[in-house]
Amino acid sequence: MVRPAMSASQALHAARAAGVELHLDGDDLVLKASAPPPPEVLDLLSRHKAEILPLLRPGGGGWSSDDWQTFYDERAGIAEFDGGLTRADAEARAFACCVGKWLDRNPATSTQRRCLACGGGDHAHDPLLPHGTDVTGHVWLHSGCWPAWYARRNAEAVAALAAIGIEERKIHL
C-alpha cells in the first residue's frame, strides 16, 4: 500500500520533472511553468493537493518540508550509490547531514560576550571560547558548558526534523 504522503511527494517529483514550479499562496497551490504541464501531472497535483500543501510549508531554516526531504534523499542517494554504503547506513548518514544542515540554517548567535548556556562571563580560570563557523557566526561558551549546550541544540534539530517527517530510522517493509 502506498501511503498518501508518499504519493504526494511522487506527485511533486513528477511535477518538477515536467518543469513545473510549485508555490504556496495561502491554501492555494500556485503552478508556474514555461509550457502547459501535461494533464496527468495536473491531475496528480489536484488529487493530492491536500497532502502536497503541508509539504510546501516552511519546515524550518527557510526550507519547506519538501526541501528537507529532497536534501535527505539526495544525501542518502549519494552515500549509497557513490559511497557504497548499505541503504541503512546511507540513511543514517543522510540524517546526520540533515541535522548538520539544520544547525547551519538555524544558527545560534551570541549578542554579547557571555556564555550562551549559563550566561556567565569570561574568566581567566574559565575562558569563553568561540564555537561555530565564519559563515554561521559563532557563539561564546565555556568549554564545560559546551557539551550539554551542543546536545540540546542537536535534540532541537532532531525534534524539528521529526516534526516534518525526517527521522533517524526509517523502516521499509
Residues that bind Zn ion (CB under 5 A): 115, 117-118, 120, 142, 145
CB of 142 to Zn ion, least distance (A): 4
Cα torsion through 143, 144, 146, 147, rounded to 10: 130
In terms of CB distance, is 38 or 132 closer to Zn ion? 132
CB of 113 to Zn ion, least distance (A): 12
Strand (E) or helix (H) holding 128: strand 128-133
In terms of CB distance, is 12 or 115 closer to Zn ion? 115
CB of 109 to Zn ion, least distance (A): 16
In terms of CB distance, is 94 or 117 closer to Zn ion? 117
Query: From CA 25, how far away is CA 137, in angstroms rounded?
Result: 33
Contact predicate 93/83, CB 8 Å:
yes
CB of 139 to Zn ion, least distance (A): 11
In terms of CB distance, is 100 or 144 closer to Zn ion? 144
